[in-house]
Copies of this chain bind each other. A is one copy, B any other.
Amino acid sequence: MAAQTKVVLDAMGGDHAPQEIVKGGVEALEKSTDLFLYMLGDEEAVKRELGKYTYDESRVEVIHCSETIEMAEPPVRAVQKKKDSSIVKGMTMIRKGEADAFVSAGSTGAVLVGGQLLVGRLKGIERAPLAPLIPTDNEKGCSLLIDCGANVDARPSMLVQFAKMGSIYMESIMGVQNPKVGIVNIGAEEEKGNALVKETFPLLKECPDINFVGSVEARDIPAGAVDVVVCEAFTGNIILKMYEGVALMLLAKVKKGLLSTLRSKIGALMVKPALKKTLKAFSMDQYGGAPMLGLKGLVVKTHGNSESVEIANSILQCVQFKEAKINEKISGQISHSEA
């Protein structure tokens, strides 16, 4: 099987590890025959979970790790010290070419640091952005937010690379033809913005490889005005976190309203199934985790509270990533434009 994708699964990361992580791995094995899984973590705990399921044992290898990086640990230090953790061991496997991709629901900081330090960037890539899909009201139902990782205070040339990588991802993985790329700004006009945006705007405008449509105001992001939302990481983090914060607060208000009177409580019972269905289309789990792009292998960071479905989808995303030859496309385009 030449096209087999080898994915390293961090079995110890996340709130529901190892149970939901292992379960998600088994689900992914069922859905794709082109998949081989390395499950990294406490061998006994992982094998105990695996024992609950029937699966193709020839496509799974458990690798024991004696250490675990905790959520609260300072990431750089943790990655440097804990050589026998699933994150360090797994990412080193990617760098050595022993596997194609790494999936973790563990510490975001450690995954970001590990990605940059251990996996390493593709030639010509200045920084590796973390690019989650966010739910939007466009045809596809989502847009790619790039970057919301740890690369604060990025330079214009980095944002241009983010735009290119984001376009390739949306086109090849999500099937969006000629994806619309916008730069996050505080107004639609080219002369608006902070120093970074003003410098980046003309570079994106001149870039032949992308469909740059100009500035996108934050207000229009949830409506899905663009497919690839380009920004530096500080801004991206705020967009992502505001999304979560406003949605959580507002849905809590709606719930409170529904349960506030006897009449509304009866009505709530009647609207519940339909409301649940509509809002489910709005859930992010179906897409898997956030890819970290521009590395010598794919790193996918899933939510800390991921359950098996998100883990399985993240693993399948890795298979698709390899089959669509995303990294070859990224390398080709970045080298091409540097030549």
Contact = CB atoms under 8 A, between A and B. Distances in A.
A219 B242 contact: yes
Contacts of A258: 271, 274-275
A275 to B, nearest CB: 4
Interface string A231-252: 0011101111111111111111
A264 B274 contact: yes
A278 B266 contact: no
A1 interface: no
A186 interface: yes
A234 B235 contact: yes
Interface residues of A, number: 60
A218 B70 CA distance: 23
Contact of A186 (B222, B238, B244, B275): B238
Nearest to A186: B237
A76 to B, nearest CB: 11
A58 interface: no
A264 B256 contact: no
Contacts of A246: 222, 242-243, 246-247, 250
Interface in A258-306: 258, 260-261, 263-264, 266-279, 282
A242 B244 contact: no
Contacts of A261: 273-274
Contacts of A223: 245, 248-249
Contacts of A245: 218-223
A271 B279 contact: no
A98 interface: no
A115 B96 CA distance: 60
A194 B267 contact: no
Contacts of A240: 218
B282 A253 contact: yes
A266 B273 CA distance: 13
A152 B194 contact: yes
Interface string A33-63: 0000000000000000000000000000000
A195 interface: yes
Nearest to A195: B153
Contacts of A136: 249
A217 interface: yes
6 contacts: A218-B245, A222-B242, A254-B278, A260-B274, A267-B272, A270-B270
